[in-house]
Amino acid sequence: MEIKNDNIGRIYIKTKHGEAELLYKIEGKVMSIYHTFTPDEDRGHGIAEKLAKTAFTFAEKRGLLVRPDCPYILYFVQKNKIYAKYLLKS
């Protein structure tokens, strides 16, 4: 499975049961991640985690801070503390 980024707000991967996606928008130097979705049949296989890691790598390469407007991204960062340094401090 290949993860793709359309570079205009969507990182996605085709799965056996559809598409999993992470939606974002960039304003200035802030990347707001506001939605993640994985088809029910594909949950529990680390797909959302792969999308999140791809998003953080994308943000890092562009010098962006991440605003986690999606509950999954907050969970992901709590579980993977190395990504906390990229979060926008409020």
Q: Which residues lie below 8 Å from residue 62, measured CB to CB, with a gap of 6+?
A: 31
How far apart (Å, rounded) are the C-alpha atoms in residues 42 and 56?
22
Question: Per-residue confidence at 67, pLDDT binned at 50, 70, 90?
Answer: very high
pLDDT of 1 above 90: no
Domain 3-86 part of CATH 3.30.720.210: no
Residue 62: pLDDT band (50, 70, 90) is very high
What is d(CA 63, CA 24) in angstroms, rounded to the nearest whole number? 15
DSSP 88: P
Whole-model pTM? 0.94
What per-residue confidence (pLDDT) applies to 57? Answer: 97
